[in-house]
Structure 1
């Protein structure tokens, strides 16, 4: 049987299996899902499959294995590393989990929720809030990011400082393996010593080992209220001092601590005409701090925030500060932070690096390496913003004026990224803190990764996916 006959047979069987709503080869229907949201990666696909449940995913995977058809899993298509975009061969299918968007079970007593992989993060927040609970992970793309995608990339966000990454939120997991078997570990157990923790192996594997179809997630009691603070600082070193002082003074009431340089704030204010700077004067650095309170502690939160800022001012750690007067203003503060990436994208081309170094060295790393990058690549502007308390910042290098989008990234941009990743590695850090490896950084991981770690990655991939059909060319260096 020829390859064409095999492909035609696969399409016919998959169409019959999933129906008109669940399977299409229509180019126009597939087009929006063939390019990542940044516009950096585009591909082609044989078909777009949209199963309605886990059993259909399993049946489809078995059919793909039979016909040797590669699968690119996709959630909200809001990833940052091209991990959900097919290659240009047109021989793989996109497997979209967006139809699988049901809340399967909600247990307020155990503070857990079991849901399909296609549930959108914002909808999960709303479901939890309706029961006076909350899911302790959020990010700027919450309106499109899906639970399966967040698990597959072990997403971070702005609450990692207190609550950890997505890995810490997953109590149970359901996934379809490359041979079509359904791995069901949705029931949460506090103690389970039956060998490897397989759900943790699948979390962060970017669809290369299994397709996440469902999850049981932990919830927390809703907060009674919050205080959102904005402070202006002279340096990132001062921001680090402010973080340490905040952790010491407010303890577990510290929910988030984000930093952004003057350049990023100015870019956002230009991008959002209705936005206003929280402070009257500009500062080299800005810190966005969120404190939260329970029913027992909320009454004391405003005084605690005022005292903290007063002490920071007296010690010269900050130059100015303000506290959001109400919830609407608090949301406006966070909008400034969440709008940095689209604001900078509007400026022009940039190389974005999602990196981490040891927490205690991050301020020093940024302070020393920004001028080093700008000197090595004249005309560029290097900026860092994000989760200082996690040792994770988004380290962007903006192109010189007049650079042509697409062309610049493929030429000087790649050289810049290699240089930044070399610096990160020299400082004992990671070239991927929370966005995943995808196709963007797979070659860099192969170049800079620890040989023993890379050997284990490849061995696990080959053991679970011997045909190499699950998200080929992503995450694992040296695999097709």
Structure 2
């Protein structure tokens, strides 16, 4: 009998300590890149239970892997293969603790699914703007632990900018209640920002106070064909000037990325992808009226077409059409998976340097791999590209991944570094990039990160081997 397991059963209930049966939902990452083995999956139902679980694991010298919806892209929330780690699943902690309409905030538990938070905010008459493809299954705790981005960062910022406070269980099992929801609190180090983006390596986020916004009077979506990345960047500048804060989404998609959607999901009608090398998806959220929003949009697109940075465009006539356009964009990763194994990148580059980055990196990859197919799409509005690499048509995808992944990563990441960018824009570091970070992170910054990890988690029991190695 394992005394730790017995203690954990006493804390959360025997039915919430899972050691047998199919544990793949917790032990395998979403992309199926890794399958680990857990000592147990523990599902606490309250912050007090999380704290007790952490204390029990610390006393036993057992490491913990905090986990939300397990939708991460960098293998940051799955156990290793040792069979000695406890997966701490927060999905039972899914309560909306309250909405403070006067303060424009909502306090929710870490296991709340993002879509449930969006719906609760809308029911209360507000907008919670964090939006990403996995919103039906990812959780707020995971969103904050990875500082998730999504499609509306251009207006509202990453998850970090949408959070005013946290409740955290630290690596000693103590509870920090920082849920006050203050917009100004200048009383020392910003612990909230320290835990956001730390991927569970410093403590366990159990609840958060989130920013809310008034619901817009109208939200319109447009799809535009552009002749080049340079013209897409020029259109972005025009959209900022014309729409101001109303510009809430600006996505760029290469024609090959869109052709994969048309190929694998033929029921979708993908505008302009056969006639244009790139398309852009724009969203305009207006607080005056739909008429005002439409006039702004049409003026922007007319000017852009006159100046040659847009060759064709369509504005969604209703909400259904808008959803269909966004669904095309969100289906690119699924279509790419249907096409076969591929090499993914989540990079950010200053927007002004993106055209040069794409030209240089495209050329380097095509020289190295004749026939390589580039799946370039992402959040151009905030400089975040999902610059993915597909094997040549008719090739062997598993062999391509085995033979080329490290070489391709080096080409892309070196080009990112030369462009003054980051090798991880919104997906985090996890275990996939932890050994690459020392090459691309400033040495002084890396030393400070290691010092923080050692200070807050001296026994290295909180998600060890992720983000930074000590």
With normalisation by structure 2, the TM-score equals: 0.97
Distance (Å, rounded) in 1 between the aligned partners of 2:51 and 2:387: 39
Equivalent residue number for residue 454 of structure 2:
462
2:165 corresponding residue in structure 1: 172
Question: 1:56: which partner in 2?
Answer: 49
What SS is found at the alignment partner of 2:284?
Answer: strand
After superposition, the C-alpha distances for 1:423-452 in whole angstroms (9 at most, x for unaligned) are: 111111100011000011111102222111
Which of the numbers 435, 441, 445 marks the counterpart of 2:427? 435
For each residue in 1:27-66, what CA deviation from the matched residue of structure 2 results, as whole angstroms up to 9, or x when unmatched?
42x2221111111121111000000010000000000000
> Paired residue for 2:190?
197
Q: Distance in 1 between matches of 2:147 and 2:243?
A: 28
After TM superposition, give the deviation of residue 340 of structure 1 in Å: 0.7
**2:71 maps to 1:78:** yes
**2:345 alignment partner in structure 1:** 353
Partners of 1:48 and 1:280 in 2: CA distance: 45
- 8 Å CA contact 2:27–2:38 kept in 1: the answer is yes
CA distance in 2, matches of 1:270, 1:136: 31
Quick one: distance in 2 between partners of 1:417 and 1:22?
40
Q: Please report how far the alpha carbon of residue 402 of structure 1 lies from its aligned counterpart in structure 2 after TM superposition.
A: 5.0
Following TM superposition, the consecutive aligned residue runs of length 4 or more in structure 1 with deviations greater than 6 angstroms are none
Question: What does residue 12 of structure 1 align with?
Answer: 6
User: Would the alpha carbon gap of residues 183 and 60 (structure 1) be closer, same or farther in structure 2, given more than 3 Å must change?
Assistant: same
Instruction: Confirm whether residue 259 of structure 1 aligns to residue 255 of structure 2.
Output: no
Residue of structure 2 aligned with 1:89, choices 82, 85, 96: 82
Alignment of 1:10-49 (within 5 A): 10-28=4-22, 30-49=23-42
**Is the aligned partner of 1:183 residue 2:176?**
yes
Unaligned runs of 5+ in 2: none
Match of 2:317 in 1: 325
2:154 to 141, 146, 161: 161
- Contact 1:259-1:387 at 8 Å conserved across structures: yes
**1:116 counterpart residue number:** 109
2:137 is aligned with 1:140: no
Residue 34 of structure 1 contacts residue 45 of structure 1 at CA under 8 Å; is this kept in 2?
Answer: yes
- Output one character per residue of 1:353-401: Cα deviation in whole Å (capped at 9) or x when no partner: 1001112111221122112112122332223211112111111011234
Q: Does the aligned pair in 2 maintain the 1:45–1:86 contact within 8 Å?
A: yes
Q: What value does the CA root-mean-square deviation take over the aligned residues?
A: 1.4
Q: Which residue in 1 is equivalent to 2:386?
A: 394
Moved more, 347-356 or 359-368: 359-368
Q: For 1:271 and 1:367, how far apart are their aligned partners in 2? A: 28
> How many angstroms does 1:324 deviate by?
0.6
Q: How far has the Cα of 1:21 moved from its partner?
A: 2.7
**Closer/same/farther in 2, CA of residues 404 and 22 from structure 1, 3 Å limit:** farther
SS in 2 for 1:443: coil
- Partner residue of 1:244 out of 232, 237, 241: 237
Q: Deviations over 1:89-110 (max 9, x none)?
A: 1110110000000001111222
Equivalent-residue separation in structure 2 for 1:279 and 1:326 (angstroms): 19
Residue 304 of structure 2 is aligned to residue 312 of structure 1: yes
* SS at 1:442 equivalent: coil
Distance 1:259 1:191 in 2: 36
1:280 is displaced (CA, Å) by 8.3
* Equivalent pair of 2:361/2:411 in contact (CA under 8 Å): no
Equivalenced residue count is: 470
Structure 1 pair 114–280 and aligned structure 2 pair: CA distance change class (3 A): closer
CA positional deviation for 1:137: 1.0
Distance 2:394 2:8 in 1: 48
